[in-house]
Structure 1
């Protein structure tokens, strides 16, 4: 009886140890508060209840609510006529919706458009308190005249690559129907949305069998990957999936598509990120927290497939040097997965990832 009680107590301590505050990290107390709450929630609530919580409010509802509350002019456009290009997508691909937001500081806008793909593992909608302040701040900082948020279909009802097909149609609408120029487009996404940014760029070089090919003339102004998912976890050496599993809030099953696993991946990314006139983007930034399970994967993608330099930043460091970087991986001290989203929830704008992104966008 005593042994069983001691064992139970030790097990309870182990659980709370996983969700404890990162007491010796470089995070601000607000960041630690948000991270601890999220880890506690994921550690104690059943998956079905978490799914219900995150799906109560759709992406469209979250965008409308935020824009209404903050008096941001907003309109929605639903794109029709999408058909699955493969029997793999048995249910077809539903029409996606684009949400157009006029940037509050539009009077000084340079004319560019921010196209944003939200994260959530393809199963969760956009989170208003987490995503919207960050998206608006990004658009303001790069002096965009508008931000466009894609409301894509969610898995498992619509499995990947339905989301990629919708991203391609969104880009097709902006370039062909609205006649925007690639050099006036900034592509951005976090987590699964970062994967969509990469998959969209890859499609332009080597078309996916699930969507119609499309060609562009020119280069995108920039591509921003925030804590992107780029590959499946290694089967033998878990790397940061193991070393950071107690610091981050993601778990190994929360993975989907693989940007590094396609055939001839280096050839594809050499074309996408070419530093000459043949490349698709003029500037690219990847951000990742050093406490993320995705840390090793982002390092691999940045080094092997993008050929970028890595810069370590803290929240108190000098971020202005990032303005002059065209292609860069930024490793943010002690921060977790998409730390900027967690920071937005608690109204904190001085984190390492947040400062790095805004400094870089200001230099576009």
Structure 2
């Protein structure tokens, strides 16, 4: 039997797990215990909390209380230990949904997983969220599989997806993920020979951060020699989708306080993730730039982004929604006349809801998901 080929992200994930100290391992059950205690407390007494200080759905309030507790009581390395590698999540989703797993490997060991027929004329390139620290969950692959099934049922031109399995922080800090994304897009353009006009970039949370970094790199090549330059030869990408984009690493907006008990994201955890990603202490005065923290860039920095259509979606109950709203306005100004920009905020919904709801056992659809489906189907129908 042929030996399974391991991607760079898988190898680093397993190396991190093996290097975990006994003290770090002992901290995991302690954190899980704290999360369980808070989950029970929220279930029993959450109804006493004012409605404006908890999620719209009681089930989510209970789940998010436990989630936030776990995130603030574990390190990035411990979170790796608790989560299966992205590559394993892909295989689990493929088995559940009945599609044949196929993986593309780049020269440096980077993997991108196929969902759908690799010979399809249209391609979605997806970058997953998780603060650059968490691997992709099986539900993220399933969401993309479901989206493709929907698209392909209503269009004569079939679409597939390449789902990047990027290396995780802190063992692989910035700009490693941008390097991998640029190499993947370059391979798609030059080796797979897919036209830019048939490519849609998507990303949720940190993945949306990576989409913005890649588009900015195409327009203004990043100074790092590890990141290949990308020439679209005057063409534009079909579109870009930013789902709950994590584009600012500071916590000064009113929505941080307003939604702190409504959302799954915990500002202390997000601060830990950005510290791991940038390999610098918060507030990251040394390593921050327009690529990794695009909210700090002027509108003119985004002028010329090579993309025909752009959709930004977010939830009203996100702690990040104020920063997302400001960023959407900045993009509209910078891309005026060159890109069709749409911004949608879903009432009563939270951060990256369509990807996270299934992970907490909540199967009901959401407005963000419906908007993404209709917008993507419209783009692919052209």
**Which range, TM-score by smaller chain?**
0.7 to 0.9
Residues 28 and 139 (structure 1), Cα distance of their counterparts in 2 relative to 1, 3 Å cut: farther
* Deviation digits for residues 309-349 of structure 1 (CA, Å, limit 9, x no counterpart): 9xxxxxxxxxxxxxxx9421100111111011123333525
Is 1:301 matched up with 2:327?
yes
1:149 CA drift (Å): 0.4
Judging by fraction of residues, say which structure has more helix: 2
Which one of 97, 113, 127 corresponds to residue 70 of structure 1?
97
Post-superposition shift, 1:354? 1.2
Q: CA deviation at 1:52?
A: 4.1
Q: Deviations over 1:170-202 (max 9, x none)?
A: 101111111111111110010000000110000
Secondary structure of the 1:146 match is strand
Counterpart in 2 of 1:252? 267
SS in 1 for 2:168: coil
Once residues 180 and 76 of structure 2 are traced to their aligned partners in structure 1, the CA distance between those partners, rounded to angstroms, is 28
The structure 1 residue matched to 2:169, chosen from 155, 161, 164, is 155
1:125 lines up with 2:167 in the alignment:
no
Q: Are residues 49 and 227 of structure 1, via their aligned partners in 2, closer, same or farther at CA, if it must alter by over 3 Å?
A: closer
Q: Are the counterparts in 1 of residues 135 and 168 from structure 2 also a CA contact under 8 Å?
A: yes
Deviation at 1:23, TM superposition (A): 8.3
1:360 counterpart (353, 358, 375): 375
SS of structure 1 residue aligned to 2:126: strand
Residue number in structure 2 paired with 1:275: none
How many residue pairs get aligned? The number is 305
Q: Which runs of 5+ in 2 are unaligned?
A: 1-37, 153-157, 275-291
CA distance 1:348–1:308, change in 2 (3 Å): farther
Deviation at 1:207, TM superposition (A): 0.8
Mapped partners of 2:128, 2:61: distance in 1? 19
Would the aligned equivalents of 2:255 and 2:319 in 1 still touch at CA under 8 Å? Answer: yes
For 2:74 and 2:88, locate their aligned partners in 1 and report how far apart those are by CA, in whole Å.
23
In the alignment, which of 132, 141, 144 is matched to residue 150 of structure 2? 141
1:344–1:147 distance in 2 versus 1, CA, 3 Å? same
- Which residue is 1:286 aligned to? 312
Contact 2:315 2:347 in 1 (8 A): yes
Superposed displacement of residue 57, structure 1: 1.0
Contact kept in structure 1, 2:120 and 2:160, CA below 8 Å: no
How far the C-alpha of 1:50 sits from its partner, in A, is 9.0
Within the candidate set 247, 251, 270, 1:230 is matched to 247
CA contact (8 A) 1:248 1:291 kept: yes
Deviates more, 1:32-41 or 1:295-304: 32-41
Deviation at 1:137, TM superposition (A): 2.3
| C-alpha RMSD of the superposition | 3.1
**1:101 and 2:108 equivalent?**
no
For the 8 Å contact 1:240–1:293, the answer to whether it is kept is: yes
1:108-137 CA-to-partner distances (Å, cap 9, x unmatched) read x972111100000001100112x1221112
Equivalent of residue 212 in structure 1, options 208, 213, 228:
228
Distance 1:362 1:308, change over 3 A: farther
Q: Go from structure 1 to structure 2 and tell me whether the alpha carbon gap of 1:190 and 1:23 turns closer, same or farther (over 3 Å shift).
A: farther
TM-score, length-normalised on structure 1? Answer: 0.75
Extract structure 1 runs of 4+ deviating beyond 2 A.
19-25, 31-36, 48-56, 137-145, 305-309, 342-350
2:281 corresponds to 1:266 = no
1:41 Cα offset (Å): 3.2
TM-score by length of 2: 0.72
Alpha-carbon separation, structure 2, partners of 1:53 and 1:208: 29
More deviation, 335-344/150-159? 335-344
